[in-house]
Structures are given as structure tokens and as C-alpha cells.
């Protein structure tokens, strides 16, 4: 187990090496985040002024709640999947020895727009169903939904790389991802655990640093300085989240290349990858 986690840590460092070569890859999660925020505002503001929240329309069991929820999920998933497809596509170009640009990533994503929309439709449907079950269930039901959500996320881990490389539809892409999952499931979990753990530790360090900074400067901090310090740390948290998201997508691309093609790239040592991914 510790060997697997160690291998995954080294794989994450290799993902960081890819990001250092192509720093522009982080543009995709940035654009995705901005777009998601704008879409959320575009939904929330009209609903607020229309009195939806006051009337509790979205809290009852009426059809309007599910229609609005599905449309919102669909648009959000489309944005996220499109951006991830562009990122993974660009990362694969680098992993295979090329020199990708942001436009290359967008070309790849637009080239698969029909499949992206189909996958977004499926993801929105699954998300809405799971949320509906969770809202109508007790504690046990919520636990079951959490398990189902985890299983869904795991099964679809490699869908984006599959969409980038293989010319198949969204349903077949999910089946293909599940098939590849059976070969590398341990490393997929451990690799994302590594990235998550590192991100968590850095986040904790930032929080502790922020608290200690504010305590140490409490007597001299003015309102303006306080706002500046808090803003600085908030920006640090956002940057950390964007980097973590980018590394995860690069990692997806690396997992797919080895799982599907049985080969490594210049950023990943052959010994490391061959030991990490023991095909079953």
C-alpha cells in the first residue's frame, strides 16, 4: 500500500513537471471557473427577482424544480467537461512529445462537442437523480447516495481521455472508462488521494499561516490591511485549487495512455509506471 502511494506521489510530481513545461494549461480551469460562476449568477439573479426563493418554488416537489435543476446541471457540466477535454487534449500532446497551445486544446474540445453535450446530458441526469434521492432520504439514504456518487466518479474517471482519443459516443466512453478502470483502479484512487492530500496539507498550512499572521499583526492591522491580507490568502487558495485541478487532469491523461496503450512518456519513468500500473 505504501509503495503504491509512493508511486502515485512520484506520478503526481511528473504531472507537475508537465505543468511547468506548459503553464498555459492552467488557463482552462481558470476559464471554466469563471464561466461556472457567471452561469450560476445568471440563474440565481433572475430567480431571486422573480421571487422563486421567497415562494419556495424550488423547495417543493413540483416539476419546475427539476426542470430548472436539470438545465442548470446540464449547462454547468457542459462547461466543466468542455474545459477538461481541452486540458486533457493539450496535456496529451505534451505527453506525446508535442508543444500544445491553448488553441490546440480548444480545437480538440470543439471537435468533440457533440459527444461532450451527450456526456453532459448523462452527467446532469445522474446528478439530478442522486440529489433527488438524497433530498428524500434519511441518513442511511444519504450514505447510499454518497457511495453511488463515489462509484460514478470512479467509473467515469477516464471518460475525458477516452473522448479525446477514441471516436466513440458518451455511453461507450463510460463503458470504456469502466473497462480501463478494472486495470488500474488502485493507482487511480491512490493518485488522486496523493494530489488531494498534498492540496489539503498546503491548504492547512495556508490557514495556519493566515491565522498566525493576523494574530501577530493584530495590533497594527488597519481595516485596509486586514482586507489586503485576507484577499491575498483567498487568492492563494484559489490558485492552489486551480493547480490541483490541472494536475488531476494531467494525471488522467497519463493514466489513460498507459492503461490503453501500454506505454509511458518522457515525463514518466518507465520503471515507475510499469510498477505502478499492474494490469490485471
Which tens digits make up the pLDDT trace of 193-250? 566 667 777 778 878 887 887 777 777 777 777 788 788 888 888 888 888 888 888 8
At 214, list the grid cell.
493576523
> Please, what's the b/e burial string for 18-48 (b: 16 or more CB within 10 A of its CB; e: otherwise)?
bbeebeebbbbbebbbebbeeeeeebeeeee
pLDDT of residue 279: 46
Please state the domain count of the chain: 1
Per residue in 35-57, pLDDT tens?
A: 999 999 988 887 776 666 555 55
At 63, list the grid cell.
416539476
Cα distances (angstroms) measured from residue 211 to each of 222, 223, 227:
16, 16, 14
pLDDT bin (cut points 50, 70, 90) of residue 255 is confident
Structure-model confidence comparison of residues 231 and 12, the more confident one: 231
183 pLDDT above the threshold of 60: yes
pLDDT bin (cut points 50, 70, 90) of residue 6 is low
Non-local CB neighbours of 249 within 8 Å, separated by 6+ positions: 25, 28, 29, 84, 87, 88, 91, 160
pLDDT bin (cut points 50, 70, 90) of residue 95 is confident
pLDDT of residue 77: 95
9 pLDDT above the threshold of 80: no
Measuring CA to CA, which residue among 245, 260, 276 is closest to residue 86? 245
280 pLDDT above the threshold of 50: no
pLDDT of residue 135: 75
12 within 8 A of 194, measured Cβ to Cβ: yes
Rounded mean pLDDT, 6-31: 83
Measuring CA to CA, which residue among 240, 267, 237, 270 is closest to residue 251? 267
Q: What DSSP element (H or E) covers 182?
A: helix 170-216
pLDDT of residue 37: 93
67 pLDDT above the threshold of 70: yes
Q: State the Cα angle at 163 between 160 and 263, rounded to 5°.
A: 80
Structure-model confidence comparison of residues 236 and 25, the more confident one: 25
Distance between CA 58 and CA 74 in Å, rounded?
17
3-state SS class at 219: coil
Q: What is the span of the domain harbouring residue 20?
A: 2-276
Query: Percentage of the chain surpassing pLDDT 70?
Result: 78
pLDDT of residue 4: 54
Amino acid at each position: 500500500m505504501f509503495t503504491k502511494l509512493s508511486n502515485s506521489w512520484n506520478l503526481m510530481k511528473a504531472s507537475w513537471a508537465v505543468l511547468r513545461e506548459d503553464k498555459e494549461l492552467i488557463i482552462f480551469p481558470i476559464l471554466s471557473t469563471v464561466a461556472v460562476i457567471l452561469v450560476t449568477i445568471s440563474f440565481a439573479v433572475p430567480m431571486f427577482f422573480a421571487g422563486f426563493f421567497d415562494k419556495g418554488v424550488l423547495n417543493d416537489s413540483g416539476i419546475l424544480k427539476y426542470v430548472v435543476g436539470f438545465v442548470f446541471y446540464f449547462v454547468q457540466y457542459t462547461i466543466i467537461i468542455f474545459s477538461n477535454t481541452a486540458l486533457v487534449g493539450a496535456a496529451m500532446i505534451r505527453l506525446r512529445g508535442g508543444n500544445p497551445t491553448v488553441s490546440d486544446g480548444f480545437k480538440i474540445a470543439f471537435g468533440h462537442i457533440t459527444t461532450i453535450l451527450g456526456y453532459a446530458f448523462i452527467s446532469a441526469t445522474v446528478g439530478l437523480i442522486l440529489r433527488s434521492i438524497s433530498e428524500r432520504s434519511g441518513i442511511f439514504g444519504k450514505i447510499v447516495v454518497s457511495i453511488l456518487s463515489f462509484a460514478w466518479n470512479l467509473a467515469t474517471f477516464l471518460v475525458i481521455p477516452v473522448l479525446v482519443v477514441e471516436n466513440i459516443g458518451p455511453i461507450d466512453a463510460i463503458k470504456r472508462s469502466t473497462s480501463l478502470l478494472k486495470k488500474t483502479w488502485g493507482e487511480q484512487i491512490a493518485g488522486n488521494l496523493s494530489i488531494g492530500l498534498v492540496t489539503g496539507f498546503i491548504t492547512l498550512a495556508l490557514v495556519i499561516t493566515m491565522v498566525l499572521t493576523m494574530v501577530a499583526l493584530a495590533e497594527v492591522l488597519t481595516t485596509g490591511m486586514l482586507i489586503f491580507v485576507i484577499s491575498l490568502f483567498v487568492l492563494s487558495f484559489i490558485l492552489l485549487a486551480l493547480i490541483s485541478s490541472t494536475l488531476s487532469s494531467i494525471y488522467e491523461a497519463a493514466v489513460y495512455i498507459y492503461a490503453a496503450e501500454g506505454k509511458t512518456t518522457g515525463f514518466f519513468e518507465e520503471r515507475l509506471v510499469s510498477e505502478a500500473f499492474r494490469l490485471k
